[in-house]
């Protein structure tokens, strides 16, 4: 799940409280009955008008935060309802397969969300309350998302196979180009499904809708509003914004559309694939380090670290105090890094004095790599938080080395896997939705 619209995104997915206030008891009862009417049936589960209203409110709040014009309320409610239907289908499938997430995992995830936003749990609670989002419901939405992620990992991720022949073909096609091209594009997108299971009429309607949206976007209509109104992608209610991505991190059809969009004045283009129409808008681009596929140099960093983890018996404040003390002993008292790493680090590298060896780009988690890349050789970082705990990092040296064949094949495999995973996830979600028995009660919309 984009770096820090994370809180807003998760808050948007959480339900808020909606109560009807009247002065008469009879009116209150009638209002409650309306709020609890069933708007959709998904297999053996229901979605109520109250839940739909809560989520539509949160979705509208999220769009306003991003200064995106709201679509007409009927369209917004219809989009939210489709999202709720998919979520129900996923959660039901997860229950069938025995996937459960305990409170400890949920608590740890919420702590990460707070840390990524540089706020305390108390401040997170306060902000959710201001937005009308009960903390208990926020917790359950986090749990649902973790369940969905684990189900996807089991049913999609583990099924992705990359034959050696595909890697060979990819490397041959990319010869002389930049396999580790880190030019990033800030992209918004709209996805209109179209696949072989549709009737001719449905396909024609999808094509007509996509062409109409493309024309309206190029004429200057708010792209985020169009995404919130029409896109069937998971991020539609986030205005379709994907954040910063390289071309290799996008589905093939989307990457092709981005290549076209960056060359025209509107920065908007459309491409067609086997699963539908991708309309993209390139909001911005930024350059990064590029590595030639054939014989080009790659920057490697020799680093070491000391890792301390937050546990039930060692809280965050204690960990930070201990690491700050260790850093002082290293920088002021000039104690030996390797010795302190062996004594205090909980990472497997502790036996090597914290030495991680020579690291390529992408070898570590993003938060670690970002902090490491800011250090000069010999410099020691402040405590850095990742999903593993808190680290003190020291860069020992840097070098430029040609990428060997094994490394090139590894990177090619990762790029191909990322592309296949994005496309397979879309198909998996569509199949779950199509297999579910769904009854929408239009009169309650």
pLDDT of residue 243: 83
* Position 244 pLDDT exceeds 90: no
pLDDT band at 16, cuts 50/70/90? very low
Which has more pLDDT, 107 or 227? 227
Nearest CA to 275 out of 185, 194, 178 is that of 194
Residue 36 and residue 48: Cα distance in Å, rounded? 5
Q: What is the 3-state secondary structure (H, E, C) of the chain?
A: CCHHHHHHHHHHHCCCCCCCCCCCHHHHHHHHHHHCCEEEEECCEEEEHHHHHHHHHHHHHHHHHCCCCCCCHHHHHHHHHHHHHHHHHHHHHHHHCCCCCCHHHHHHHHHHHHHHCCCCHHHHHHHHHHCCCCHHHHHHHHHHHHHHHHHHHHHCHHHCCCCHHHHHHHHHHHCCCECCCCCEEEEEEEEEECCCCCCHHHHHHHHHHHHHHHHHHHCCCCHHHHHHHHCCCCCHHHCCEEEEECHHHCCHHHHHHHHHHCCCCCCEEEEEECCEEEEEEEEEEECCCCCECCCCEEEEEEEEEEEECCECCECHHHHHHHHHHHHHHHHCCCCCHHHHHHHHCCCHHHHHCCEEEEECCCCCCHHHHHHHHCCCCCCECCCEEECCEEEEEEEEEEEEEECCHHHHHHHHHHHHHHHHHHHHHHHHHHHHHHHCCEEECHHHC
Query: Considering the domain boundaries, does residue 349 fall inside one?
Result: yes
Look at residues 291, 326, 357 and tell me which one is the last residue of a structural domain: 291
Q: 13-22, 367-376, 413-422 — which one is most confidently predicted on average?
A: 367-376
Joined tokens for residue 434: 């199509």
Query: Considering the domain boundaries, does residue 217 fall inside one?
Result: yes
Q: Say yes or no: 279 and 308 in one domain.
A: no
What percent of the chain is predicted at pLDDT more than 70?
86
Nearest CA to 354 out of 421, 406, 303, 426 is that of 303
Q: Say yes or no: 306 and 350 in one domain.
A: yes
* Position 31 pLDDT exceeds 50: no
Q: Say yes or no: 283 and 306 in one domain.
A: no
Q: Say yes or no: 211 and 262 in one domain.
A: yes
Q: Say yes or no: 45 and 142 in one domain.
A: yes
Query: Considering the domain boundaries, does residue 443 fall inside one?
Result: no
pLDDT of residue 291: 45
pLDDT band at 445, cuts 50/70/90? low
Q: Say yes or no: 24 and 113 in one domain.
A: yes
Which has more pLDDT, 170 or 191? 191
Q: What is the pLDDT of residues 370-404, one digit of tens each?
A: 899 999 999 999 999 888 889 999 999 999 887 77
Whole-number mean pLDDT of the chain?
A: 84
Q: Say yes or no: 25 and 140 in one domain.
A: yes
pLDDT of residue 116: 65
- CB of 307 within 8 A of CB of 391? yes
* Position 242 pLDDT exceeds 80: yes
Q: Say yes or no: 50 and 141 in one domain.
A: yes
Query: Considering the domain boundaries, does residue 41 fall inside one?
Result: yes
Residue 298 and residue 178: Cα distance in Å, rounded? 11
* Mean of pLDDT values over 91-108: 90
Which has more pLDDT, 316 or 121? 121
Number of domains in the chain: 3
* Position 103 pLDDT exceeds 80: yes
Look at residues 291, 312, 342 and tell me which one is the last residue of a structural domain: 291
Query: Considering the domain boundaries, does residue 438 fall inside one?
Result: no
Choice among 128-132, 269-273, 332-336 with the minimum mean pLDDT: 128-132
pLDDT of residue 245: 80
Q: Say yes or no: 272 and 312 in one domain.
A: no
- What range does the domain containing 253 cover? 177-291
Query: Considering the domain boundaries, does residue 407 fall inside one?
Result: no
* Position 334 pLDDT exceeds 50: yes
97: Cα within 13 Å, side-chain hemisphere: 16
The domain that holds 199 is classified in CATH as: 3.10.50.40
* Mean of pLDDT values over 348-355: 93
Q: What is the pLDDT of residues 123-179, one digit of tens each?
A: 999 988 988 888 988 898 899 889 999 999 999 988 899 999 999 988 887 664 555
Look at residues 402, 422, 439 and tell me which one is the last residue of a structural domain: 402
Q: What is the pLDDT of residues 32-85, one digit of tens each?
A: 445 579 999 999 999 999 989 988 988 898 898 888 999 999 999 999 999 999
Q: Say yes or no: 253 and 396 in one domain.
A: no
The domain that holds 129 is classified in CATH as: 1.10.4030.10
Do strands 355-359 and 438-440 pair parallel, antiparallel, or not at all (unpaired)?
unpaired
pLDDT of residue 274: 86
Q: 139-148, 226-235, 260-269 — which one is most confidently predicted on average?
A: 226-235
Query: Considering the domain boundaries, does residue 223 fall inside one?
Result: yes
Q: Say yes or no: 261 and 318 in one domain.
A: no
Query: Considering the domain boundaries, does residue 165 fall inside one?
Result: no
pLDDT of residue 177: 52
Q: Is the pTM of this model over 0.85?
A: no
Q: What is the pLDDT of residues 71-84, one digit of tens each?
A: 999 999 999 999 99
* Position 206 pLDDT exceeds 70: yes
Q: Say yes or no: 206 and 129 in one domain.
A: no
pLDDT of residue 140: 87
Residue 244 and residue 185: Cα distance in Å, rounded? 5
**Dihedral, CA atoms, 101, 16, 429, 410, nearest 10 degrees?**
-60
């Amino acid at each position: 799940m984009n770096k820090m619209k994370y809180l807003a995104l998760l808050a948007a997915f959480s339900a808020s409280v909606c109560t009807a206030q009247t002065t008469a008891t009879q009116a209150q009862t009638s209002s409650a009955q309306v709020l609890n009417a069933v708007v959709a049936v998904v297999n053996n589960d229901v979605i109520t008008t109250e839940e739909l209203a809560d989520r539509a409110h949160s979705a509208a709040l999220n769009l306003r935060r991003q200064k995106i014009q709201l679509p007409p309320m009927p369209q917004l409610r219809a989009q939210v309802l489709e999202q709720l239907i998919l979520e129900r289908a996923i959660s039901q499938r997860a229950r069938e397969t025995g996937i459960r997430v305990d409170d400890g995992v949920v608590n740890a995830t919420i702590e990460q969300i707070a840390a990524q936003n540089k706020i305390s749990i108390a401040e997170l609670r306060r902000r959710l309350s201001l937005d009308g989002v009960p903390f208990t419901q926020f917790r359950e939405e986090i749990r649902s998302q973790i369940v969905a992620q684990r189900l996807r990992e089991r049913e999609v991720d583990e099924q992705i196979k990359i034959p050696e022949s595909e890697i060979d073909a990819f490397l041959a096609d990319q010869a002389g180009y930049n396999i580790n091209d880190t030019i990033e594009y800030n992209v918004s997108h709209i996805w209109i499904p179209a696949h072989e299971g549709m009737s001719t009429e449905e396909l024609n309607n999808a094509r007509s809708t996509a062409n109409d949206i493309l024309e309206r976007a190029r004429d200057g209509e708010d792209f985020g509003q169009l995404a919130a109104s029409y896109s069937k992608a998971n991020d539609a209610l986030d205005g379709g914004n994907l954040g910063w991505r390289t071309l290799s991190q996008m589905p093939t059809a989307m990457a092709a559309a981005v290549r076209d969009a960056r060359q025209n004045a509107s920065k908007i283009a459309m491409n067609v694939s086997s699963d539908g129409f991708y309309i993209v808008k390139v909001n911005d681009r930024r350059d990064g380090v590029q590595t030639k596929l054939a014989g080009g140099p790659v920057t490697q960093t020799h680093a070491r670290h000391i890792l301390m983890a937050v546990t039930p018996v060692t809280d965050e404040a204690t960990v930070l105090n201990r690491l700050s003390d260790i850093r002082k002993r290293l920088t002021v008292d000039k104690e030996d890094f390797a010795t302190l790493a062996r004594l205090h680090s909980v990472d497997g590298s502790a036996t090597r004095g914290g030495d991680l060896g020579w690291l390529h780009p992408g070898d570590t988690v993003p938060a670690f790599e970002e902090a490491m890349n800011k250090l000069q050789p010999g410099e020691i970082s402040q405590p850095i938080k990742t999903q593993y705990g808190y680290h003190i990092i020291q860069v020992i040296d840097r070098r430029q080395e040609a990428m060997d064949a094994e490394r090139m094949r590894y990177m090619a495999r990762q790029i191909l896997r990322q592309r296949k995973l994005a496309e397979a996830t879309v198909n998996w979600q569509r199949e779950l939705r199509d297999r579910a028995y769904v009854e929408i009660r239009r009169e309650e919309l």
